[in-house]
Structure 1
Amino acid sequence: MFPEFEVVPAVDMQDGQVVQLVGGERGTGKTYGDPVDAAERWLDAGARTLHLVDLDGAFEGERVNAAAIDAVLEAVGDAAAVQLGGGIRTADDAVALLERGVDRVILGTAAVEDPEIVAEISDEHPGSVLVSLDAKDGEVVVSGWTEGTGLDPAEAARRYADLGAGGILFTDVDVEGQLGGVRTDPVRRVVEAVDVPVVASGGVATVDDVVALRDAGAAAAVVGSALYEGAFTLAEAQAAVDER
């Protein structure tokens, strides 16, 4: 998983459309069109991995945008790796997606409610689970970022790595979607807690932010709003981390 640092475009879906939320708040989203069009755009731009999230699924607790996701998977084929989250609540759901062609499943709420699900899936599909730790005010939140858990992100990351997680997806919800820049200290804390790759998300506004996440130890950075708003191109961001 991520032998070299990657810039990973986000394709977050709500009501069958690409949406970027601000601060994780439902109803704050800006729409960016058809998910297949977005996926093909990022493939053409050189993406090696796509980050798909069923936002409705994250809020509702069940996969809602399955048809849109299936269309993206069909369009992507073997051209890029796909990691998918949002509404995946059982091991059977996760395994079915992995067998459908998803490379990594992202578990947030399900992993908090039943940590052993990480081991169960990982035993059958090693390296396939990316545990999502979304932090708000320094606390892991679940159910579409609406419920606190009392968990410290770094401590939780260590626990899931011990259970066999292939990597950790750390999202800084406090800066998510705001194009205001990243905070590297929370990322660094999670990176230093585990030996598995950490994918950072939230706040990227410039290519310097991407480089800062790389320098903080992240194995990849998920970027959404900055790419959709044209703050920089995927090629520019990837070149920046490759050259510096």
Structure 2
Amino acid sequence: MSDPFPTFEVIPAVDVQDGEVVQLVAGERGTEKRYGEPRAAADQWVDQGAETLHLVDLDGAFEGERVNSAAFEAIIDTADVDLQLGGGIRTADDAVELLDLGVDRVILGTAAVETPEIVGEISEQYPGTVMVSLDAKDGEVVVSGWTESTGLDPAEAAGRYEELGAGAILFTNVDVEGQLEGVNTELVGRVCEAVDIPVVASGGVASVDDVLELRDAGAAAVVVGTALYEGAFTLAAAIEVAST
């Protein structure tokens, strides 16, 4: 199985709600700021040097089924970079359909917590393609669009999913998500130490220094949303600094 992140990557987020790119504050619906059409955003980030795009169907995450398929299929058809997609993927068939369409990694959150065996089921057909999303609020894993606490410790959960066949972990600190207030490297570091598979960090990135802190904490890549859309720094600048 090849390493999806042979070098550290800065990955732009394309989070979609009601057919538009948005960013939420601390995962709360109703806090969103809108940033236009998804395919245009994807093209912009690819033009600026992105090697991977992080695609999230926010409506799907909250509703429990994929909602913005047309927007993502337009990106899949045109973007010549790696694509990781999550939000509303609840069954192995959902995941396989997306992988067959050309998505490189499927992101499983609620489904992985509620039916852990789905990770192995998908991985048997497509090894290394399952990225398990562990979203932490107050230090515990939360599901269903960040609305329900599970009581699970993120580092312990990451180790469990590695054993089940996950190819990567997406770790999001919901407490700092979308707030441009900086990152929590202690939690990220614990998750990275718990597994041998890549951990992609997300949440709270406000500066290039935050990107470097997450890299130094052991993350294989970092997902950036609000900071890029608000112009806190450019993708090109982050990629350049993170590669040194």
User: TM-score, normalised to structure 1's length?
Assistant: 0.98
CA distance in 2, matches of 1:184, 1:150: 21
| Aligned-residue identity in percent | 74
* Selected match of 1:75 from 74, 78, 101: 78
CA distance in 1, matches of 2:10, 2:115: 30
CA distance in 1, matches of 2:63, 2:78: 26
Partner of 2:60: 57
Partner of 2:160: 159
Q: CA deviation at 1:238?
A: 0.8
Partner of 1:205: 206
More off after superposition, 166-175 vs 67-76: 67-76
Partner of 1:231: 232
Q: How does 1:2-13 map onto structure 2 within 5 Å?
A: 2-13=5-16
Secondary structure of the residue that 1:27 maps to in structure 2?
strand
Determine if the alignment matches structure 1 residue 86 to structure 2 residue 117: no
Q: CA deviation at 1:229?
A: 0.4
Stretches of structure 2 lacking an aligned partner (at least 5 in a row) = none
More off after superposition, 64-73 vs 208-217: 64-73
Cα deviations by residue, 1:52-86 (Å, 9 ceiling, x for unpaired): 0000000000001011111111121xx10000000
* Selected match of 1:46 from 30, 49, 61: 49
Partner of 1:188: 189
* Residue identity opposite 2:169 in structure 1: I
Q: Which ranges of 4 or more aligned residues in structure 1 deviate by more than 3 Å?
A: none
CA distance in 2, matches of 1:27, 1:107: 23
Q: How does 1:90-169 map onto structure 2 within 5 Å?
A: 90-169=91-170
CA distance in 2, matches of 1:242, 1:74: 29
CA distance in 2, matches of 1:103, 1:3: 15
CA distance in 2, matches of 1:157, 1:180: 25
* Residue identity opposite 1:164 in structure 2: G
Secondary structure of the residue that 1:19 maps to in structure 2?
strand
* Residue identity opposite 1:103 in structure 2: D
* Aligned CA-pair RMSD: 0.5
Partner of 1:36: 39
Secondary structure of the residue that 1:29 maps to in structure 2?
strand
Partner of 2:25: 22
CA distance in 1, matches of 2:59, 2:94: 16
Give the number of equivalent residue pairs.
241
* Residue identity opposite 1:170 in structure 2: F
User: TM-score, normalised to structure 2's length?
Assistant: 0.98
CA distance in 1, matches of 2:182, 2:107: 24
* Residue identity opposite 1:53 in structure 2: V
* Residue identity opposite 1:224 in structure 2: G
